[in-house]
């Protein structure tokens, strides 16, 4: 580690909110050294964010105040350190953005939507450096180039909504670093991003840190991200620092139970103990329960003027696959790749343009009325956010019997108290669940209620759209185990949509990789994960944060462009050509390759 | 852009037709007609029938309506029964007074309400906030005829510094070019006339704007408070931007969409309030004209005036939509 000159020291910091008796941040002492990346780790609710907002004294605007302790900013010229706790807001303002800068979690909401990127960058330059406008503009454009944005001069005139999430986070970083601060505070800067974009942003922060020699205080809940970026780690639990040390020491010999728990529950991709399921030879298979053939779903794109239909967004393009009983097929890909549209098309929640989907031999797309309603019983779905998926004004009993009532089955045996109790027990919910309301349950329990609701009609196929990504890591495992068990006990097949490779590795029998609406690679989970053939699959797998700091490698900070699959009207895409790599592992040859 | 405006204005034509249909139907339902209201009771039934025939009131209502529509499309809104003049002339003569009053009231409401709301939002829970709230609720709950009479008593009666009514003193002699007294005075270089016009305008405009001021204050406060909780405000503060800039440049600019929306909606309320205020202050606008028209069952005049009101509301909201695109780049004209 570099010479340990302290740059910022927190001494016994306590932060209170309003008139609350107990402090939110308790007795936190922390040192950030010159040129290091210090990760502050902890689960949601551990008040990491409060701690760093206290350093910036931004907490003053959120009803908090520092009740005890010091925050010392050490000066380069050997002068006595500044105690930020005692500084007036105007003096603090001169430091913010110039000496200490900050980037935030959600790049979609952290930029002012009504100001151009240029205006927001110039604002911070002109606040701290008495430049003339031309010089400030040149500085801003140079900075945008530094964060690897294409066409930096053109970006200056754009508004935030014209940029993707990853690009906006780059703009945030440019804004934070344009006045060359000595300290960058990054508050979960990659949590809201896709895994490939996360990898790019982590690479970018790393390389800018090395270029400028600044210190980074990096807040995260993800031990994988810590392994990627940190020199030192401080672990926070309930507003206290419970352990801090060198990143290798913390990963190799964690001292505190909580650190150990964090490390254990962290999703481990390509862990040596992981059991990736082997391919099932075709001979042993029964007939598919769901067979999808050449499914395409397009959305019309209208012009701004007169709303003419000018193009089509090919959200799902010529997708074919089989789903066998008791099998899990995982669909992986980034947001916007069409995986959720595929699921909605199968449920006929969005109309499809072409293709067939045979459920038990019946084509879902030709059914109407009563037949469709009947067929739909056999294909059910659970969603990502268990908080939004349940009506807060309905009791669990009402929630579970609603699908039955809709189908006129309310009075049958399935709706009886005994059957419901059995169902509730099956998904691992406590007795007495039926007459309680969703808000009385935790996130994991709510997802169990959603699963029970899907099971009440005894479906043959369960579509799970990112079913665990809104849950804490420890809970994720339990829900995945539950789904795996139900697959066998209920004789269901599972179509599992996810962007999380560690989760997919754990559940998938087979994998479909979706990129810009098309499947570019498919095959048994083991083959796809260990020998990814398509460049996009490779990029997706490489982007997964490493499990241990020793496995770190230099990441490319430039972004790969993924344009939405919008094509002019009447455009015929050529039929898919596949290369067989053995054991059912197939690579698409003609789909748009990653640049 | 220009095309968009033409499209929007063309879209207003069906609205105007439907509105005139509704007014027509309502007038048929109301008891009495222009003949019973305007002609002496002593006139013989034969005379009344003759007049009804002359005014076309003897024909079936639906035919009357179609006649009206046909004429209206050529710009002929008929003759006023009471004034014996073309409706369009009477309306055009008095419309500027109402527009002048409505614009002045809106400017007062925006000029007072917006800063007050922003100030309250910047210091929530303080005395400033409490004063702004008290002021705005008083404004919202004050009936404007009552406030008008009160202010006339105070400023015209007790202090005697402002006129109690009317639009200009007799014999001012400023040529009516645009019909807007303030603009005409400036065009003529008559500063004394301008002062007189402003003095006459002050009380009615304040009274008319009071209600809107209160609503804009509340709306601005709520919108700015919401905006101040947004993530980008935190970003701005983390850049070291001053609080005043955070408030106006970041929070207020984002709050403006909501504030402008409420101005557009409240403009309708303001126009109906103008009828009362014009009556209280003897302001020669179309509001007092409409009340006269209604009491004499002057059908052509009533329909013409209601259409003018509808048109003003449509134009105001078109302007609001245009304004949206200026303040928020995410809103496009379609």
Each residue's pLDDT tens digit, B216-251 = 999 999 999 999 999 999 999 999 999 999 999 999
Please choose, from the candidates A101, A556, A148, A528, the residue with its C-alpha nearest in 3D space to the C-alpha of residue B234. Answer: A101
Shared-domain flag, residues B41 and B123: no
Interface size between A and B, measured as CB pairs under 8 A: 85
The secondary structure of residue A415, as a DSSP letter, is G
Using CA atoms, how far residue A79 sits from A73, A91, A181, A453, in Å, is 11, 17, 18, 65
Residue A80, classed as helix, strand or coil, is: coil
Q: Write out the two tokens for B88.
A: 């369009």
Percent of chain A whose predicted confidence (pLDDT) is above 90:
37
Name the interface residues of B facing A (CB cutoff 8 Å). 230-232, 234-243, 245, 249-250, 253-254, 327-330, 332, 334
Shared-domain flag, residues B68 and B107: no
d(CA A14, CA A308): 59
User: The domain that contains A505 carries what CATH number?
Assistant: 3.40.50.300
Is B232–A175 a contact, with Cβ atoms under 8 angstroms apart? no
Angle between helix B144-151 and B253-280 (nearest 10): 70
What pLDDT shows up at residue A594?
37
Percent of chain A whose predicted confidence (pLDDT) is above 70:
94
Q: What is the mean pLDDT of residues A496-506?
A: 88
Length of chain B: 334
d(CA B329, CA B334): 13
Q: What are the helix and strand counts (H, E) for chain A?
A: 19, 23
Shared-domain flag, residues B223 and B312: yes
- Residue A55's closest chain B neighbor by CA? B238
Q: What is the mean pLDDT of residues A13-23?
A: 85
Shortest Cα distance from B130 to chain A (angstroms)? 19
d(CA A32, CA A233): 10
Shortest Cα distance from A184 to chain B (angstroms)? 11
Using CA atoms, how far residue B224 sits from A205, B210, B211, in Å, is 34, 21, 20
For residue B90, tell me if it sits in a domain.
Answer: no
What pLDDT shows up at residue A595?
34
Using CA atoms, how far residue B92 sits from A296, B16, B179, B273, B289, in Å, is 61, 18, 9, 20, 12
CB proximity A305 to B under 8 Å: yes
Total domain count for chain B? 2
- How many CB atoms within 10 Å of residue A409? 16
For residue A151, tell me if it sits in a domain.
Answer: yes
Q: Which of A146, A180, A214 is the last residue of a domain?
A: A180
Q: Which of these ranges, A20-24, A514-518, B299-303, has the smallest mean pLDDT?
A: A20-24
Q: Which of A180, A195, A219 is the last residue of a domain?
A: A180
Q: What is the mean pLDDT of residues A55-65?
A: 87
What pLDDT shows up at residue A17?
87
Sorting pLDDT into bands at 50, 70 and 90, what band is B104? Answer: very high
Q: Is the pLDDT of residue B202 over 50?
A: yes
For residue A383, tell me if it sits in a domain.
Answer: no
pLDDT top residue among A497 and A552 = A497
Shared-domain flag, residues B141 and B246: yes
For residue A18, tell me if it sits in a domain.
Answer: yes
Shared-domain flag, residues A53 and A127: no
Q: What is the mean pLDDT of residues B159-177?
A: 80
Q: Is the pLDDT of residue B58 over 90?
A: no
Residue A554, classed as helix, strand or coil, is: coil
Which residue, among B5, B124, B240, B327, would best test binding to A if mutated, counting the most A CBs under 10 Å from its CB? B240
What is the helix (H) or strand (E) element at residue A155, kind and residue range? helix A152-155
What pLDDT shows up at residue A352?
85
For residue B86, tell me if it sits in a domain.
Answer: no
Sorting pLDDT into bands at 50, 70 and 90, what band is A1? Answer: very low
Is A113–B237 a contact, with Cβ atoms under 8 angstroms apart? no
Shared-domain flag, residues A175 and A51: no
For residue B105, tell me if it sits in a domain.
Answer: yes
Shortest Cα distance from B256 to chain A (angstroms)? 10
For residue A448, tell me if it sits in a domain.
Answer: no
For B238, the domain range is 95-327
Sorting pLDDT into bands at 50, 70 and 90, what band is A3? Answer: low
Top-ranked range on mean pLDDT: pick from A17-21, A291-295, A468-472: A291-295
For residue A194, tell me if it sits in a domain.
Answer: yes
Q: Find chain A residues with C-beta within 8 A of B242's C-beta.
A: 93, 127
Shared-domain flag, residues A14 and A159: no
Shared-domain flag, residues A72 and A206: yes
Alpha-carbon dihedral of residues A545, A546, A548, A554, nearest 10 degrees? -100
Shared-domain flag, residues A63 and A194: yes
Shared-domain flag, residues A112 and A67: no
- Residue B326's closest chain A neighbor by CA? A114
For residue B81, tell me if it sits in a domain.
Answer: no
Check if the beta carbon of residue B147 is closer than 8 Å to that of residue B212.
no
User: The domain that contains B260 carries what CATH number?
Assistant: 1.10.3720.10
- Residue A126's closest chain B neighbor by CA? B241
d(CA A325, CA A495): 11
What residues pair up with A465 in beta bridges, in sequence order? A497
Check if the beta carbon of residue A284 is closer than 8 Å to that of residue A326.
no
Shortest Cα distance from B213 to chain A (angstroms)? 26
d(CA A323, CA B192): 88
Residue with tokens 């479909």: A512
Is B254–A95 a contact, with Cβ atoms under 8 angstroms apart? no
Which of A58, A94, A304 comes nearest B238 by C-beta?
A58
Q: Is the pLDDT of residue A40 over 90?
A: yes
Shared-domain flag, residues A112 and A252: no
Asked whether the ipTM of the predicted complex exceeds the cut of 0.85, the reply is no
Is B231–A304 a contact, with Cβ atoms under 8 angstroms apart? no
The residues, ordered by sequence, that sit 6+ positions from A270 with a Cβ below 8 Å of its Cβ are A505, A529, A544, A547
pLDDT in tens, A357-402: 998 888 888 888 888 888 888 999 998 888 888 999 999 999 999 9
pLDDT in tens, A117-152: 999 999 999 989 887 888 999 999 999 998 888 889
Shared-domain flag, residues B113 and B214: yes
Shared-domain flag, residues B215 and B66: no
CB proximity A174 to B under 8 Å: no
Shared-domain flag, residues B47 and B119: no
For residue B1, tell me if it sits in a domain.
Answer: no
Sorting pLDDT into bands at 50, 70 and 90, what band is A593? Answer: very low
For residue B5, tell me if it sits in a domain.
Answer: no
For A477, the domain range is 286-291+325-339+368-378+457-588
pLDDT in tens, B267-280: 888 888 899 999 99
For residue A300, tell me if it sits in a domain.
Answer: no
- How many CB atoms within 10 Å of residue B60? 8
- Residue B331's closest chain A neighbor by CA? A114
Using CA atoms, how far residue B119 sits from A452, A511, B133, B136, B287, in Å, is 52, 57, 11, 13, 35
For residue A416, tell me if it sits in a domain.
Answer: no
Shared-domain flag, residues A160 and A83: no
Shared-domain flag, residues A198 and A133: no
Shared-domain flag, residues B58 and B110: no
What pLDDT shows up at residue A271?
65
Tell me chain B's radius of gyration from C-alpha atoms: 24
Which of B242, B249, B254 comes nearest A93 by C-beta?
B242
- How many CB atoms within 10 Å of residue A313? 18
Question: What single string gives the DSSP state of each residue in B300-317?
Answer: HHHHHHHHHHHHHHHHHH
Residue A126, classed as helix, strand or coil, is: helix
Is A127–B240 a contact, with Cβ atoms under 8 angstroms apart? yes
What pLDDT shows up at residue A214?
93
Please choose, from the candidates A223, A171, A266, A232, the residue with its C-alpha nearest in 3D space to the C-alpha of residue A8. Answer: A232
Shared-domain flag, residues A199 and A110: no
Q: Find chain A residues with C-beta within 8 A of B253's C-beta.
A: 112, 114-115
What does the longest C-alpha to C-alpha distance in chain A come to?
Answer: 81
Shared-domain flag, residues B56 and B121: no
Q: Find chain A residues with C-beta within 8 A of B254's C-beta.
A: 112-114
Please choose, from the candidates B269, B274, B267, the residue with its C-alpha nearest in 3D space to the C-alpha of residue B318. Answer: B267
Sorting pLDDT into bands at 50, 70 and 90, what band is A10? Answer: very high
Shared-domain flag, residues B229 and B322: yes
Please choose, from the candidates A530, A522, A510, the residue with its C-alpha nearest in 3D space to the C-alpha of residue A328. Answer: A510
Which of B239, B243, B254 comes nearest A175 by C-beta?
B239
For residue A230, tell me if it sits in a domain.
Answer: yes
Check if the beta carbon of residue A556 is closer than 8 Å to that of residue A203.
yes
d(CA A225, CA A230): 8
Shared-domain flag, residues A187 and A133: no
Q: Write out the two tokens for A326.
A: 């008791």
Shortest Cα distance from B31 to chain A (angstroms)? 47
Total domain count for chain A? 3
For residue B139, tell me if it sits in a domain.
Answer: yes
Check if the beta carbon of residue B227 is closer than 8 Å to that of residue B213.
no
Average pLDDT over chain A, rounded to an integer: 86
Shared-domain flag, residues B177 and B28: no
Residue A314, classed as helix, strand or coil, is: strand
Percent of chain B whose predicted confidence (pLDDT) is above 90:
36
Is B328–A58 a contact, with Cβ atoms under 8 angstroms apart? no
Shared-domain flag, residues B128 and B56: no
Q: Find chain A residues with C-beta within 8 A of B332's C-beta.
A: 304
Q: Is the pLDDT of residue A280 over 70?
A: no
- How many CB atoms within 10 Å of residue B67? 13
- How many CB atoms within 10 Å of residue B147? 20
Shared-domain flag, residues A374 and A474: yes
For residue B281, tell me if it sits in a domain.
Answer: yes
């Amino acid at each position: 580690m570099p010479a340990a000159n302290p740059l910022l020291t927190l001494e016994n910091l306590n932060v209170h909110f309003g008139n609350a008796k107990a402090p939110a941040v308790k007795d936190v002492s922390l040192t950030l050294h010159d040129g290091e990346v210090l990760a502050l780790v902890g689960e949601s609710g551990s008040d990491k964010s409060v701690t760093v907002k206290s350093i910036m004294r931004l907490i003053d605007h959120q009803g908090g105040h520092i009740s005890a302790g010091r925050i010392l900013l050490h000066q380069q010229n050997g002068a006595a350190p500044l105690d930020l706790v005692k500084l007036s807001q105007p003096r603090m303002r001169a430091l913010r953005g110039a000496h200490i800068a900050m980037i935030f979690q959600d790049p979609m909401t952290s930029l002012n939507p009504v100001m151009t990127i240029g205006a927001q960058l110039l604002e911070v330059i002109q606040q701290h450096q008495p430049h003339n406008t031309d010089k400030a503009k040149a500085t801003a454009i140079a900075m945008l180039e530094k964060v690897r944005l294409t066409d930096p001069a053109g970006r200056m005139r754009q508004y935030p909504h014209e940029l993707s999430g990853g690009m906006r986070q780059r703009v945030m970083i440019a804004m934070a670093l344009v006045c060359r601060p000595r300290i960058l505070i990054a508050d979960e800067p990659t949590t809201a991003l896709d895994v490939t974009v996360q990898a790019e942003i982590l690479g970018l922060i790393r390389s800018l840190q090395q270029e400028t020699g600044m210190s980074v205080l990096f807040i995260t809940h993800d031990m994988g991200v810590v392994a990627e970026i940190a020199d030192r780690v401080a672990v926070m639990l309930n507003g206290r620092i419970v352990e801090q040390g060198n990143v290798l020491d913390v990963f190799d010999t964690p001292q505190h139970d909580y650190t150990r728990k964090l490390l254990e529950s962290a999703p481990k991709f390509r862990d040596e103990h992981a059991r990736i399921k082997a391919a099932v030879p075709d001979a042993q298979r029964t007939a598919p329960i769901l067979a999808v053939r050449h499914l395409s779903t397009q959305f019309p794109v209208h012009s701004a003027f007169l709303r003419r239909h000018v193009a089509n967004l090919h959200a799902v393009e010529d997708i074919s696959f089989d789903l066998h009983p008791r099998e899990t097929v995982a669909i992986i890909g980034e947001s916007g790749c069409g995986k959720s549209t595929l699921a909605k098309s199968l449920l006929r929640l969005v109309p499809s343009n072409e293709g067939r989907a045979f459920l038990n031999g019946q084509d879902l797309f030709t059914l109407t009325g009563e037949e469709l309603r009947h067929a739909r019983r056999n294909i059910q779905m659970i969603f990502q956010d268990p908080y939004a998926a349940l009506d807060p004004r309905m009791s669990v009993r009402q929630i579970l019997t609603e699908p039955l009532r809709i189908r006129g089955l309310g009075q049958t045996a399935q709706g009886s108290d005994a059957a419901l109790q059995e169902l509730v027990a099956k998904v691992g919910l406590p007795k007495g669940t039926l007459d309680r309301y969703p808000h009385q349950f935790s996130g994991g329990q709510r997802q169990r209620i959603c699963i029970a609701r899907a099971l009440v009609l005894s479906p043959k196929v369960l579509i799970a759209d990112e079913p665990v990504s809104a849950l804490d890591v420890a809970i994720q495992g339990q829900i995945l185990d539950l789904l795996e068990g139900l697959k066998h006990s209920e004789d269901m097949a599972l179509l599992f949509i996810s962007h999380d490779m560690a989760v997919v590795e754990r559940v998938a029998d087979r994998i479909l990789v979706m990129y810009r609406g098309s499947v570019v690679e498919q095959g048994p989970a083991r083959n796809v994960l260990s020998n990814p053939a398509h460049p996009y699959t490779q990029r997706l797998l490489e982007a997964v944060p490493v499990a241990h700091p020793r496995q770190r490698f230099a990441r490319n900070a430039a972004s790969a462009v993924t344009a939405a699959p919008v094509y002019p009207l009447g455009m015929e895409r050529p039929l898919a050509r596949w290369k067989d790599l053995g054991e059912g592992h197939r690579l698409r040859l003609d789909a748009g390759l990653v640049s | 852009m220009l095309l968009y405006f033409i499209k929007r204005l063309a879209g207003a034509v069906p609205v105007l037709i439907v509105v005139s249909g509704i007014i027509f139907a309502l007038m048929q339902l109301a008891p009495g007609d222009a003949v019973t209201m305007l002609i002496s009771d002593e006139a013989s039934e034969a005379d009344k029938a003759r007049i009804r025939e002359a005014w076309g009131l003897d024909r079936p209502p639906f035919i009357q309506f179609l006649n009206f529509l046909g004429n209206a499309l050529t710009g002929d809104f008929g003759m006023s029964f009471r004034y014996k003049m073309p409706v369009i002339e009477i309306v055009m003569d008095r419309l500027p007074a109402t527009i002048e009053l409505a614009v002045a009231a809106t400017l007062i409401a925006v000029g007072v309400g917006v800063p007050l709301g922003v100030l309250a939002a910047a210091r929530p829970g303080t005395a400033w906030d409490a004063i702004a709230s008290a002021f705005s609720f008083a404004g919202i709950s004050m009936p404007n005829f009552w406030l008008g009479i009160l202010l006339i008593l105070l400023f015209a009666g007790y202090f005697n510094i402002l006129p109690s009514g009317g639009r200009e003193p007799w014999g001012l002699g400023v040529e009516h070019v645009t019909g807007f007294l303030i603009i005409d005075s400036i065009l003529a270089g008559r500063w004394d006339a301008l002062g007189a016009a402003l003095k006459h305008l002050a009380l009615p405009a304040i009274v008319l704007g009071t209600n809107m001021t209160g609503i804009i204050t509340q709306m601005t406060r709520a919108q700015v408070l919401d905006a101040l909780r947004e993530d980008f405000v935190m970003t701005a503060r983390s850049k070291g931007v001053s609080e005043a800039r955070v408030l106006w440049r970041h929070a207020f600019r984002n709050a403006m969409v909501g504030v402008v929306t409420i101005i557009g909606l409240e403009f309708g309320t303001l126009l109906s309030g103008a009828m009362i205020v014009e009556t209280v202050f003897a302001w020669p606008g179309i509001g007092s004209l409409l009340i006269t028209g209604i009491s004499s069952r002057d059908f052509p005049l009533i329909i013409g005036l209601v259409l003018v009101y509808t048109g003003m509301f449509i134009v105001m909201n078109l302007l609001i939509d245009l304004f949206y695109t200026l303040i928020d780049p995410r809103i496009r004209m379609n």
